[in-house]
């Protein structure tokens, strides 16, 4: 993994995205469903000319799905996390599960390290590498 230096705030943001990973996936599904099954017209072009979206509902839905900024951002975050986690060794995957995805959070870093049979420092180094790799994949610095 890379040794790229990232800002402290970026590091914390990536960690918060790791904690919220499962909620983010649910939010993506919710947003997709909202776009796919939106009721009524979302035309805000009151009194103006013709809208720029096509009249074909299928094309309109495809454009909305591909151009929705929040949905795109959430997908980028989830894709980056999944891409990095998929390439990790089993020990590092277990670190992610124990520290970020297990609810309720019951282990400290010392507890996570003990579960992995490594030192606390090794567990923290793994975390640093993973967070930096995710930040780099998303394009955050």
Query: Could you list the residue range(s) of the whole structural domain that residue 127 is in?
Result: 8-39+54-138
Structural domain includes residue 26: yes
Structural domain includes residue 49: no
Structural domain includes residue 84: yes
With 0-12 / 13-18 / 19 or more C-beta atoms within 10 angstroms meaning exposed / middle / buried, residue 14 is: buried
pTM of the model: 0.77
CATH code, 66: 1.20.140
Count up the domains in the chain and report the number: 1
Structural domain includes residue 3: no
* pLDDT, tens only, 79-104: 999 999 999 999 999 999 999 999 88
* pLDDT, tens only, 4-13: 689 999 999 9
Residue with tokens 């909202």: 34
pLDDT level of residue 108 (50, 70, 90 thresholds):
very high
Structural domain includes residue 46: no
Structural domain includes residue 48: no
């Amino acid at each position: 993994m890379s040794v790229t230096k990232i800002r402290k705030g970026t590091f914390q943001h990536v960690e918060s995205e790791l904690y919220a990973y499962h909620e983010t996936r649910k939010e993506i599904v919710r947003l997709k469903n909202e776009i796919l099954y939106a009721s009524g017209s979302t035309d805000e072009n009151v009194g103006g000319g013709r809208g720029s979206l096509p009249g074909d509902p299928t094309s309109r839905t495809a454009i909305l799905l591909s151009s929705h900024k929040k949905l795109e951002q959430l997908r980028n975050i989830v894709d980056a996390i999944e891409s990095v986690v998929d390439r990790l060794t089993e020990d590092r995957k277990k670190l992610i599960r124990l520290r970020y995805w297990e609810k309720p959070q019951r282990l400290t870093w010392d507890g996570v390290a003990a579960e992995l049979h490594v030192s606390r420092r090794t567990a923290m180094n793994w975390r640093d590498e993973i967070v930096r790799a995710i930040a780099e994949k998303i394009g955050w610095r």
